[in-house]
Structure 1
Amino acid sequence: MAGDHDIPLGAHPVAEKRRRGRPRKPDTLTNAQRQAAFRARQKAADKSVTVTKNEHDELVRECERLRKELAKAREIAKPRVRMSSVGEPAASAVLVQQVPADEAESDDKRLLVTMNGREFFSLQRLEAHYGLPKRAVLERLIWWADRSVVQSFEHDDAAFHRYLNRITKNR
């Protein structure tokens, strides 16, 4: 009775013997393959590349040519600054003149300024040289700077209006 029953075994036979440890990945290299790849990398890294004198000279000439082009481009892009001899009065001439009267008759405003020591001593020297109070020196120089900027716009009305209508902290 016990021998009547057949116990079914697995339908597929064992094709490969099971190995110990972790199963191998399909792209793994053997130790010999890894060593050969390492030697090939080391051999390629040891090869030095020599540059002939002619190629080096060509590269140097190309660098010099590019530097000259860059200098020309910077010269063209540099903003044009008016010289004081081209109709603009120098700062010394401005400090001697009176500032034109304020047509709007606006009230005086208080200005607290913190400045570097160099500029502070420059202001003191200007004050002593021209015999003016600090307020007069600052007013005249600010008027001169503003006038120079306005005159630099010439016929560019859009830039002039952007300059006048610039939003500040107080507006």
Structure 2
Amino acid sequence: MARSKNIPLPVTEKRGRGRPRKPDAMTNAQRQAAFRARRKAAGKAVTVSVKEHDRLVLECEQLREELAQARREIARRPRRDVGGRRDAASAVLVRPLPADDAESDDRRLAVTMTGREFFSLQRLAAHYGLPRRAVLERLVWWADHSVVQSFGEDDAAFNRYLHRVTENN
């Protein structure tokens, strides 16, 4: 059906972009005033005075200076491991093991380890240019040697340590 040229089209108001406003929507100023009122009712400060700001800045500077002083003290101290030697594990991995007086035979050991330890072993081996077997041998020797050294003159404790192997296996 053809439209007649004399009938005007109904005029509709062009809709604005975005979501239409709700009739009870607050302006930004009203929202900010409501926020301040809630903060005041809760007993919290809405604004910080210049005096309070200066006090907080001074406290922050003092804490930063204390932190810097503590870091300087830590940097001055030599790093020590449990045995009291500096970087003992690194020292063990860079030097060969002492000669095996008993000249014991090689033994096979199948080991299952988590990914974290496996990749740690790979990194250590690559870092020190050693096979994984050598890294494990040196670390096990170092741990055993440290335990034996910890017994000092306590022969009974040393003997218990040695005899546990045969009892548990």
TM-score normalised to structure 2 length: 0.49
Q: State which structure, 1 or 2, has the greater radius of gyration over its C-alpha atoms.
A: 1
